[in-house]
């Protein structure tokens, strides 16, 4: 027998997704006169900006994840269900999930984004994405498995491939991951694997445009590139990855790269749910919303965060797919739902851009806050403080601070563990099936 959500005389708000947007929305609706139901396929909130540190063994996964039930402990009329949402039927105000059908008065879609492989079979099947904690853990295992294999292999080309890493995409994720790998190469790996010649190890950061961190100013981009190059990262600009064949990366130039690991950070697309009018899905696979984050053509369905595209003259592509936008939209839609409950008019969403930042390694970061632009050690401290305070849970902040302090003073990382060996062949089969299933559906 399936346990249903308790009935209530309050209007029910169903939130799909426990990321930044969904969590902030649910927090803003505390004691607001609504029954809140949150659905997510995981039972935790993941702090995605630090996934790259899990992948490079600086942090353990449980230090950037926090149980959703614990976040909302003590909330009245809040119910969490671990479930995947398969469909929505707007005409009947129903969500079809993996556990049961759930009725709603207001539906909030906060499903975030997923990796955009550009519909390329080789990239989809063989490259390594990093959008979730399981994917970050898979990448961590693969990195260290590569070096374990390199120790026992005699073929020079194969050893070179195992020791090389190509990162496609030089946005904040790609830049931070490249910097972390550069620090591993400089300070950690030679101590763990003294038999290997680490002058062979190459880290390539490939970017299709003419600079890294294109969303930041030119001066910040140039600083970031200098920091990366000091760490031994080879920055390859004006180059696109065309395909990946498992042991070498093909580009649109004459230069291809030998590597057994391609990490794909070159783009994301929205992750909408089935059942919405196809006309509401716009460029980037995002859901078009009005100035109130209400899905076009719907009166009681909202979309917030990465999956939402609020297209205006100022933002013809929609707002950037970053955490600050998701957080602000979650809070704003919460305020508007309160206004609806009070029979008041909703107010339009206005995004306040507080700046951008990226870290490249110890004492190396770039920060832009309004008109202020700075880099180096001070920027690194600012980056650490902002990310530390943004983590959910006091315990997580303490653990992350302790690990960062230890890593700073001894340049070591204690999580170089292969807990669950990563089996690429199994993942390839799963991804290949999913890829061709999608082709059949799209065709």
Query: What tokens appear for 84 in the block?
Result: 């995947």
Cβ(80)–Cβ(97) below 8 Å: no
- Residue pair 231/360 in contact (Cβ under 8 Å)? The answer is yes
Cα 206 to Cα 217: distance, rounded to the nearest angstrom: 19
Instruction: Give Cα separations from 307 to 184, 271, 286, 296, 353 (angstroms).
Output: 34, 6, 5, 13, 18
Element (H, E) at 192: helix 189-192
Nearest CA to 86 among 70, 74, 97?
A: 97
Q: Residue 268 carries which DSSP code? A: E
Of 176, 183, 288, 368, catalytic: 176
- Burial string for 249-275 (b: 16+ CB within 10 Å, else e) reads bebeeeeebbbbbbbbbbbbbbbbbeb
Q: Name, in order, each residue with C-beta under 8 angstroms of 55's C-beta and a sequence gap of 6 or more.
A: 130, 136, 137, 139, 140, 143, 177, 180
Nearest one of 263, 220, 235, 234 to 359, comparing CA atoms: 220
**What is the torsion angle, in degrees rounded to the nearest 10, for the CA atoms of residue 144, residue 146, residue 147 and residue 153?**
150
Query: Considering all CA atoms of the chain, what is the largest pairwise distance in Å, rounded to the nearest integer?
Result: 74
Report d(CA 396, CA 215) in Å as an integer.
29
Element (H, E) at 196: none
* Nearest residue to 268 via CA among 59, 107, 48: 48
Residue 176 falls in the annotated catalytic set: yes
Q: Among all residues, which ones are annotated catalytic?
A: 176
């Amino acid at each position: 027998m399936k346990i249903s959500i308790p009935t209530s005389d309050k209007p029910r708000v169903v939130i799909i997704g426990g990321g930044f947007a969904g969590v902030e929305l649910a927090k803003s609706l505390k004691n607001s006169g609504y029954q809140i139901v949150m659905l997510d396929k995981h039972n935790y909130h993941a702090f995605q900006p630090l996934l790259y540190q899990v992948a490079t063994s600086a942090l353990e996964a449980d230090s950037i994840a926090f149980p959703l039930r614990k976040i909302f402990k003590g909330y009245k009329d809040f119910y969490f269900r671990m479930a995947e949402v398969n469909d929505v039927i707007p005409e009947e105000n129903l969500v079809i999930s993996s556990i049961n059908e759930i009725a709603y008065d207001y539906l909030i879609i906060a499903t975030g984004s997923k990796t955009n492989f550009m519909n390329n079979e080789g990239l989809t099947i063989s490259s390594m994405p990093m959008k979730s904690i399981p994917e970050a853990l898979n990448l961590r295992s693969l990195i260290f498995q590569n070096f374990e294999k390199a120790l026992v292999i005699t073929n020079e080309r194969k050893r070179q491939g195992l020791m090389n890493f190509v990162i496609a995409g030089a946005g904040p994720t790609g830049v931070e991951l490249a910097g972390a790998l550069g620090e591993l190469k400089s300070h950690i790996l030679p101590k763990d694997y003294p038999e290997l010649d680490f002058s062979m190890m190459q880290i390539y950061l490939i970017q299709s445009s003419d600079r890294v961190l294109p969303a930041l100013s030119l001066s910040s981009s140039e600083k970031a590139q200098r920091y990366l190059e000091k760490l031994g990262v080879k920055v390859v600009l004006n180059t696109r990855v065309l395909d990946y064949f498992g042991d070498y990366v093909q580009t649109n130039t004459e230069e291809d790269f030998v590597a057994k690991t391609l990490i794909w950070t070159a783009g994301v697309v929205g992750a909408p749910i089935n059942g919405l009018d196809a006309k509401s899905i716009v460029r980037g696979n995002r859901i078009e919303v009005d100035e109130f984050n209400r899905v076009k053509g719907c009166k009681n369905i909202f979309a917030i965060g990465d999956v939402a595209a609020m297209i205006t003259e100022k933002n013809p592509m929609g707002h950037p797919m970053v955490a600050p936008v998701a957080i602000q939209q979650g809070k704003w839609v919460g305020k508007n739902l309160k206004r609806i409950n009070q029979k008041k008019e909703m107010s339009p969403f206005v995004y306040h851009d507080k700046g951008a930042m990226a870290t490249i390694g110890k004492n190396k970061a770039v920060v832009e806050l309004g008109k202020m632009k700075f880099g180096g050690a001070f920027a690194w401290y600012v980056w650490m403080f902002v990310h530390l305070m943004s983590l959910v849970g006091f315990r997580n902040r303490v653990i992350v601070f302790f690990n960062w302090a230890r890593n700073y003073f001894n340049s070591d990382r204690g999580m170089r563990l292969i807990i669950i060996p990563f089996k690429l062949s199994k993942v390839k089969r799963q991804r290949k099936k999913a890829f061709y299933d999608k082709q059949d559906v799209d065709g």
